Structure 1
């Protein structure tokens, strides 16, 4: 029996390397506390080198990065943008910022990510209606890459730009290529729960230098090159601060280590629980997951909400899989294309899936405790189901 931990076990808390204070101290000593500074330039360069990308723009959030990509592409009111349905709302909110309409695409079972089959049907229908999307936002969910070769082939055949939401997949790859660098734009998040964090922040990469230059211009209030403050178009206050960029530089140094730790946690969960009825998010051939969060489908006839409630009693944070965006009240009335007609993969995953504590500062003893309680939760839930059946 595992020992009761002395602290609450969180889903994915920040994990500092110990070097962040050096970068922060440098920013204070040199008085680069303003939104600009040398740490921003260095962080962008270091991220570009890691990703083998042409360049990067450090911004205030991953959401801001998506918004900038849509603005750079000229998305406007009346346009449509195709978007993964099984994701956090931040993937689609920027579509609304531009006054455009999201069209949601289901997941497919192998990767849990955007279904190429559903995307193809949606694209064919849009072409028939003479209303092709201005962009496609594909999400790499929970650290696992979508099937980018198939998705890119479909989008390129219609000349539709692709925005990769890699907010959850920094450190992951597809056929040896970092996620976020395959499409036209890549989006990364450094929120407090991500694999590396700057407290709050994001990064935008792009294939074309001109897109990066325009994004940086827009992120700095779209100030024209003049001897005074002149503005010819709408801009945003989206630049990352120099202090936060310093934190990011220190975090980037341990990214590979964090990926290894995340993958080890996943392996241990899978080995312990797969024989107990849990099934885990697949790492299909050609993909390499950073395992940002360990996610699993609960055993048959077990309710995810019951598992979450049971673990809460022991100060263990678990969460349901994202509720698909096509099911959200915010997007009522938006079009949606399922993986196969009358077969909704994203809805099935929502109704059967949970996220398990995956913090890289989780101790071995704490993980054993979580595993023990996940096993207990299934037994408790099965008893509850049996009792309810008997009452009927």
Structure 2
């Protein structure tokens, strides 16, 4: 497909750009005037309080990234060489990468078609089989996908029978709910991301949250190079430089104040896509799980080439020609070269999602005219 000239496409429509509130500048200026620009000071505490209020977790540690939060979580859970860490295969590599770098062995489980999140029934069966083998995982890591929270109640029940801790990768789940409570609540630990493309952003950064103050205190120690209490630099173990900058914390706190509005807007974007494209054959939007309320951080669609008349890659190119960014859904981790030898259970659902799935422009700041351009490009790509 030949790419249309930029003038014909109009201004680019990114997949999920930052949406500023207008309060970030004043927050940054206040931090600069205070002199607290390092990973310390009142801005960090204010951000952690804001995350606690947004997630319902009483104990929060601000981190340099969502991946740093996951790495710290694996460390405080005592993950070591040879331990098995179970996660859905349908996720980003950061879910398991820190554990693998620590010597752990990932095992990938399939997701369910009704939510695109970890299949709790499969997990239950696999845990029972692992118990019979005498090799249970050291932790299970459900993942919130595209703003939809995994069914933690079922996952916690399955893991609780065998005493396996649950770490929720909620990098994509901020603002989502599970039966009325916030995404990640109930897990031993939950990791969040404030990357530039998330529903609210600090321009980077992450957070680790828990109901257990001891775990967060341990993670806080490791996040600042594991310095022992002493007037000089003394270390009984090695840690990391994983603290969040006060500048990022100031931006993140300003953004968190707008989280309810951002969720409402993303859901409205999704609803408009679903309504405007309902008559097209061969398109199916990501379902909303019965146990919760998704944020629709990204609006994802499945494309049936036989009925739509074009596949997801052809649709992606058509959107690119219209100046709109789209992206395939997650390629399953068992299909990644780095994990080709990793053990797995199932995978057909994740593979089918990757074969058909595409994430559409979903920014909360997208105008109706911009979304209409996207809709027109999708309709134009339909060859049914």
2:148/2:289 contact within 8 Å kept: no
Report how many aligned residue pairs link the two structures.
Answer: 374
Of 85, 98, 103, the residue aligned with 2:89 is 85
Of 338, 343, 347, the residue aligned with 1:335 is 343
SS at match of 2:141: strand
1:274/1:280 contact within 8 Å kept: no
What TM-score comes out, normalization by structure 1 length?
A: 0.93
Of 107, 112, 115, the residue aligned with 1:111 is 115
2:150 maps to 1:146? yes
Residue of structure 2 in register with 1:318 after alignment: 326
Whole-Å separation in 1 of the counterparts to 2:243 and 2:91: 25
1:5/1:366 contact within 8 Å kept: no
Of 266, 287, 293, the residue aligned with 1:288 is 293
Alignment of 1:41-60 (within 5 A): 41-60=45-64
Residue of structure 2 in register with 1:390 after alignment: none
Whole-Å separation in 1 of the counterparts to 2:357 and 2:382: 13
Alignment of 1:218-229 (within 5 A): 218-229=222-233
Structure 1: gaps of 5 or more residues:
383-392
2:334 maps to 1:297? no
Alignment of 1:200-239 (within 5 A): 200-239=204-243
2:79/2:138 contact within 8 Å kept: yes
2:376 maps to 1:368? no
Q: Which moved more, 1:87-96 or 1:188-197?
A: 87-96
Alignment of 1:1-392 (within 5 A): 6-277=10-281, 278-301=283-306, 302-338=310-346, 344-379=348-383
Whole-Å separation in 2 of the counterparts to 1:5 and 1:190: 30
SS at match of 1:139: coil
CA deviation after TM superposition for structure 1 residue 57, in Å: 0.2
SS at match of 1:365: helix
Whole-Å separation in 2 of the counterparts to 1:141 and 1:50: 18
2:54/2:175 contact within 8 Å kept: no
Structure 1 residue runs of 4+, over 3 Å off? Answer: 3-6
Deviations 1:347-383 (CA, angstroms, capped at 9, x unpaired): 000001100000111100110110110111122xx5x
CA deviation after TM superposition for structure 1 residue 286, in Å: 2.6
RMSD over aligned Cα atoms: 1.3
SS at match of 1:212: helix
SS at match of 1:11: coil
CA deviation after TM superposition for structure 1 residue 4, in Å: 6.1
Whole-Å separation in 1 of the counterparts to 2:140 and 2:256: 28
Whole-Å separation in 2 of the counterparts to 1:87 and 1:113: 9
What TM-score comes out, normalization by structure 2 length?
A: 0.95
Whole-Å separation in 2 of the counterparts to 1:106 and 1:215: 30
